[in-house]
Structure 1
Amino acid sequence: MPRISVCTSVYNGMAYFERAIPTILSQTLEDFEFIIYDDGSDDGTGERLAEVAKSDPRIVLIPSDGQRRGLAEGLNHCVRHSTAPYCCQQDFDDVSTPVRLQAQVDAFDANPNVGVVGGAYRVLNEIRNEDFIRRPPLDHESIIRRMTKAVPFAATCMAFRKQAWEDAGGYAPVKNLTDMNFYLRILKTGKWKFMAVEEVLGTHHVHGESFFNNSMRYRERQADLAKVQARIVKDAGLPAWMGIYPLARRVYPSLPPVLKKVARKVVGFKED
């Protein structure tokens, strides 16, 4: 049995074969399985994945069956095929640092009550011309409070126990904010803690063709995020005054880039 299952759902990823795949296959922890689901690609991605899968026995390719499941169900499809006790999400257009899997496996091994492990990550935003390291809080209570203000860590650098996924009923069948809705589901089980490691686990690319930008219009995504954050305030039993953060989220899209950066610092983002 592998120590961890890396789960990737990809649709039309021909432009990004030099990102996720080589960085996962070069991990310092070598005992893993890399489950890649082709979510109905029509640009040759499926054919190229079939060739790549021949190069390393750790790659488990789930070919397209002709239908589009979307990101949430595509990831659930990967997890159902997984055999490890831990899983992690890896977006096809992002990269992981060499120590990513080892750091997260070590965190799970040392903390049996932890269901989700995130970490620091590089943000490479081609739209805003930004390049920085974002460092989330490390402990459960601080991470939950961060969720009322923003997404605590990049989904592409997140790992979870398969048991936590099962307890939560998997990723929610939503088209937007699959990560935050997943965190909320796990939080509501009342069984699992969240934590983050100090290591930089990867790079999250933000570009015009990324799922992050194309899944929904930006303002709609921010409005949906405000709704999820309001539910976290309620379901986590946090002080009612923290409901001001979801309200502020609705104003955030209208701010110019300079003020957005200031706002991120005001709410406690550590960026360097």
Structure 2
Amino acid sequence: MTCLSVNVNKIAVLRNSRGGNDPDVLRAAAACLDAGAHGITVHPRPDQRHIRADDVHVLSTLTRARGVEFNIEGNPFAPPRPGYPGLLPLCEQTRPAQATLVPDGDGQLTSDHGFDFARDGERLRPLITALKGCGCRVSLFVDAGNPDIAMAAAIGADRVELYTGPYAEAFANGAPDAALALFADAARRAQAAGLGVNAGHDLSQANLGRFLAQVPKVLEVSIGHALIGEALYDGLDATVKGYLRVIGQRR
């Protein structure tokens, strides 16, 4: 079964635009879990543009109390700065079920590419070891066309998360078949190397079903931007349940 982890970054963006605590990230995450989501994802950035370190701590407490997965995404190479202790220290403090490593920088509006393992593999290896020492399952953000996906297993990762932005764009343009074939091949190559497969970025209720029907054995999808946008019209409860129906139809 594919699990749904809801990324609540966009709730924090809205909150931060005015200051204070409205809308409440913790309350929104609890509403997603009440609706049946299998976990919560956050991506704290050094510039604190949305999720902050204090959010990570309270969401860790919530997910632990609910017995669901907490997934922290971030760049393991980004140095600490005031208000941001660094990805590894955050994971050491909160012990998430999963740490997803993403090669993003401050200048990126959003995550838009995966790791180059030929360049970054040996730098990642000790960080993966340290995260696994915290009890975290480790997933690495990758492009479907990366020929070296199997290297993720060689450096110690448990899973890869396929960056699905190119698929979503192809779907929106009415020509998803080539992208789906590429992603299906990437999933099979990862699985052949012993890796679990997650997926995320620009997935929506419109394009998720087609993706899960064509890409084998996706263990988890992490969805935030589209889900929160759809929830502005239909509410969090109805929207999360809508995603769960899409996932359920593809079992």
Compare the two structures and name the one with the higher strand fraction. Answer: 1
Q: TM-score, normalised by structure 2?
A: 0.31
